[in-house]
Structures are given as structure tokens and as C-alpha cells.
Structure 1
Amino acid sequence: MSAGSLLRALVRRPVLALALAIIAGVFACALLAPLLAPYAPDDQIFDGLSLDGAPLPPSAQFLLGTDTLGRDLLSRLIYGARTSLLIGLVANGTAVMIGLAVGVIAGYFSGLLGGVLMRFTDLMTAFPALLLAIVLAALLKPSLWIVAMVIAMVNWVQVARIGYTETRSLSERDFILAERAMGAGNLRILARHILPHLVPTAIVWGTLGIATTVLLEATLSFLGIGVQPPQPSWGNIVFESQSYFQSAPWLVFFPGLAILATALSFNLIGDALRDLIDPTQRGRD
């Protein structure tokens, strides 16, 4: 199925069309943040606080209100989309590449090498991903790229197991055996026959994994070991404002809504792509 056919199939469903619109909006905010944001994300606006120093609620001047330092919340959310989406794409893209590399090598060559790689994958699976990410983030100096690499290091295992299973199945097909009988080398078989069959898997897991990555980044930032202020991310915006939840709920509600909408949209699109690309997997979890 071509990219155009996939897009048309997604747009025909109202819920998926809304999810695509949300994702497009997040990408627009990330790419055009300087043009869309009313203020710079770190500008402490003189009239952004009330007389008693409290943040201002949503108004005509500040559409989503201001935070505890008098900064425009809408501007910080727009710039935060850039941070959260960049980490989501980089971390998940890296995780998919690592997972596929491990799975393909283990599945194709099997033997001692495959056994060692898959036992290591099983070992990584045994650790709770969030706990492992917290430990790694705490040991390393938190920054945008460190957080992305930490998330990639804990998210590759599921892709590796799927890549291993599919590669093992493909390696036993008749056309692969015929290629070997004709003298084709391992690199030729991997490049021309194994990897192209794994592209749909990479697309589906690349989409589904972004939702998990965005949530994990938000969790790490909320715990204070993710992206560090003053660089805005949706997670650290919630972290900075958690003590004002009762007096200024918009400071937590709007970034929380952005995280929820983005993660849900990527999940919906990923599930739909899985059904469209491989209908035999429909309904399987």
C-alpha cells in the first residue's frame, strides 16, 4: 500500500483524521515556534503576575495564563512541543534502529551469537523500563540529548524481539533458501530480502513508540531528572507548577492535556497503520 493510499485510508476515519490534525499541529508548533509563540519562552513579562505575585489565569492577553515567574504559558507550551517531539523522534528512531539491528542479527545468524543477543535482550526486558531510565538519567548529567539516549536505551527491546521473530521466519522461506543455493552472500540476502520485509514493522513501531517516548520524557522531566529548566518541555512545566495545582490549575491542566493528546494521537495512528499494513495482526496485542 502506497503512502497516499495509507493517508487516504486514515483521513476517512474521523477519529484518525483528528489524530492526524493534532500531530500536524504539534509538528507545526515544533517547527514554527518562533513565529507562533507570542513571547519568548523565558521572558518574565512585567504584567504577567497579579499584584500579590500570583500567576494570571487565561485572558485575552495571555490565552493560557502565565506561570509562577510571569512567563506566558502558551509560549512555553509551543516551545515545549519542540523539545518533547525532538526527543520523541530521536529517541524512538534510535531505539527502532538498535532493536532491528539486534533482532535481525540474532534471527539471521542464530547460533551462539543469536543466543547471546537474545539472552541480553531478555535481561533488559526483566528490568522495569521506567526504573532503569530513572537510574541512567540520575547517573548522567541530564540534557536533551542525554535524555533521548537514555530513553532509546530502554525502549529497543520490544522491537528486537519482534525483529528476531520475523527474521527467523523469513530466513526459513523458500526464496531465501533459493538465494543461498545460488550463492548469494549474507549481506545481499539481508539488504534485498530481509530488511525490506521489516520496513512495515519499523514504520508501525516507529509511530507507536513515539507515544511511549513522549510519556517517558514527560515522566523523567516531571521527576526533575529529564530536560532541565529553563529549556521548556511539557514534563518540566508540570514539575515546576505542581505545587500550584489548586490555586492555578491551568498550569498543570494545559501541559497535561498536550501530553495526553499527543500520546493518544500517535497511539491511534500507530494502531491504524498496523491494521492497514498487516491486516493479519488486527486485534492481536
Structure 2
Amino acid sequence: MRVLREILRQPSALFGFIIILIVAIGALGAPLLAPFNPDEQMFDGLTLEGAPMPPGSPFLLGTDTLGRDLLSRMLFGARTSLLIGLVANGVAVAIGLLVGITAGYMRGFAGNLLMRFTDLMMAFPALLLAIVLAALLKPSLWIVAMVIALVNWVQVARIVYTETRGLVERDFILAERSLGAGHGRILFLHILPHLIPTAIVWGTLGIATTVLLEATLSFLGIGVQPPNPSWGNIIFESQSYFQAAPWLVFFPGAVILLTALAFNLVGDALRDLLDPTQRGRG
């Protein structure tokens, strides 16, 4: 609660928190808030010329190229994008923690081998690697989440490795070892609690990257597949109508931008509060 109060005192973090709250409410309440079925092609959803309807009553954000309500698809798309963001980033943080703690604590040949593999993964452009993996596997919601997790864990692993290396040389760890404490006790009771703030910070910041990466993969046609809506594939389906119906690209693009910005603002605030390396810096 103290951390939440401190975040709400910062205007930028408060703005980000409100945006995240609005998006979360829209995603969770999509079945109740959506005015239409997101997959229903409305009889009056297209003009006489077959063009999408512009924003206005009864379609507040207009319709897409198939006459489906854009607001309804964006609400259900929020569920897809946030679910992938949370799951993919949660798995990425878990993998990064496991690799970083193991390499930092064991050191020696095993630790060096793990970190050289991490460096090898960091050498590949994340987007290019994600495109290759998504193209090799059959795209689906969970496959996309796992692909994103597999390319996003390396930054967490590097940070956790560095912090673990510093922790194992601290006096309280050396004292535990001299008293005969086992590796499990040292790792779970003395090292892991010091890494939780780092995991929270990078977990929050990583959601923004994950949402953007999911939108990029869906925009390229190798992410979440239609008819399941996501913000990225809404833009993908409508890109050819950018000049005739710009709202089809503008609205989902603006939501992606605001959501990524919101998680970055909250993540920066959490880093200032929880990351010990940031304390005292102005």
C-alpha cells in the first residue's frame, strides 16, 4: 500500500495508473461493455458503397471493413493484448530469474555457460527472432505468448545475474554459509527476497514491450489470427483503408501507444521506489 500511495503522488505515474485501470476495466468487462458482438457483421455497418461507417451513432468508433463494430473489437482486443502481455512477460521474468540466479550463484563453468547463452540470445534482434519463431510455429494466442517470452527473458537474466553476483559476496551470505546453511535456504530465504523488487520493476516495464511486440507480430500477420481480435491485427486488417477510413488505424494505434506509455510511466515510478540502485539519484 505504501508503494501505491507513493506512485499516486507522482502525476506521471498517476496518469499511467489511470490509463492501465481503464484498459483493464475495458478488457475484463468487455462482454458487458461492448455494444455489439465483435464478430457480427452488421447489416447497416457499411455504407451503400461498401465502405466502413465513420464514428458516430450507433457505432461510436465506426465500423471496420467487414461492417463490425470497432469499439466492440477493441474492447475484446484489449483482453487478448493484455493477456498475452501479462502471460508472456510473467514467463519471461520467471525464466530470467531462474537463469540469472543460477548463473550468479553457481558461477564457475555452469554459470559462465548460462551467461554466454544469454549473451548469444541478446545478440539476435528480438523482433527478428520473434518473427522467425512465430513463422515456424502455428500462430495462436498461447504460441504468440510463448514466442514473446522466449525473446524477452534475456534482459531480466542479465540484471538478476549482476545483482546475484553482488549478493553472494555479502557478509550475511558468507555468515550463513559458515553456519552450514544449504544452497536452498540461502537462495530462497536470503537471495530471492532481495531480487523481488527488481522482478516487479522489470515485470512492469516489460509489459509495455510485450504489448508492442504482440501488436507488431499481429500487424505482420504472424500473431493472433482472425477472427480473434487484438489491437495489432485490427490495424493489419485495416491498413489498406488508411486513407479512406483513418479511424480504423488511428484508434487501435492510439490505444497501443497509451497503454505502452502507461506501463512505462508506472514502471519508472516503481523503479525509483524499489530498485536500490536508483535510490538517492535525482
User: One fold, TM greater than 0.5?
Assistant: yes
Equivalent in the alignment of 1:84: 81
Matched, 1:8 2:17: no
Q: 2:222 aligns with which of 211, 222, 225?
A: 225
State the identity %: 77
Equivalent in the alignment of 2:193: 196
Q: 1:64 aligns with which of 56, 61, 64?
A: 61
**Superposition map of 1:192-271 within 5 A:** 192-271=189-268
Letter of the structure 1 residue corresponding to residue 112 of structure 2: G
Matched, 1:94 2:116: no
| Partner SS, residue 162 of structure 1 | helix
Equivalent in the alignment of 1:105: 102
In the TM superposition, what whole-angstrom CA distance separates every residue of 1:153-179 from its partner, at most 9, and x where no partner exists? 000000000010000100000000000
Cα distance between partner residues in 1 of 2:186 and 2:280: 32
In the TM superposition, what whole-angstrom CA distance separates every residue of 1:11-58 from its partner, at most 9, and x where no partner exists? 122222121111011111111110010011101011111111100000
In the TM superposition, what whole-angstrom CA distance separates every residue of 1:71-116 from its partner, at most 9, and x where no partner exists? 0000000000000000000000000000010000000011111011
Mark the runs of 5 or more structure 1 residues left unpaired by the alignment.
Answer: none
Cα distance between partner residues in 2 of 1:101 and 1:278: 19
Cα distance between partner residues in 2 of 1:111 and 1:196: 24
**Structure 1 279/168 Cα, relative in aligned 2: closer, same or farther at 3 Å?**
closer
RMSD: 1.1
Q: Tell whether the 8 Å contact from 2:239 to 2:249 is kept in structure 1 after alignment.
A: yes
Equivalent in the alignment of 1:48: 45
Cα distance between partner residues in 1 of 2:277 and 2:205: 18
Q: Tell whether the 8 Å contact from 2:201 to 2:275 is kept in structure 1 after alignment.
A: no
Cα distance between partner residues in 1 of 2:226 and 2:56: 25
TM-score (norm 2): 0.98
Matched, 1:30 2:24: no
Q: Tell whether the 8 Å contact from 2:103 to 2:111 is kept in structure 1 after alignment.
A: yes
In the TM superposition, what whole-angstrom CA distance separates every residue of 1:194-228 from its partner, at most 9, and x where no partner exists? 00000000000000000000000000000000000
Q: 1:21 aligns with which of 18, 22, 26?
A: 18
Cα distance between partner residues in 1 of 2:19 and 2:275: 25
| Partner SS, residue 209 of structure 2 | helix
The ranges of structure 1 where at least 4 consecutive aligned residues each deviate by more than 4 angstroms after the TM superposition are none
**Structure 1 104/279 Cα, relative in aligned 2: closer, same or farther at 3 Å?**
closer
Alignment length (residue pairs): 281
Equivalent in the alignment of 1:149: 146
| Partner SS, residue 244 of structure 2 | coil
In the TM superposition, what whole-angstrom CA distance separates every residue of 1:112-158 from its partner, at most 9, and x where no partner exists? 11011000001000000000000000000000000000000000000
Equivalent in the alignment of 1:162: 159
Cα distance between partner residues in 2 of 1:158 and 1:18: 27
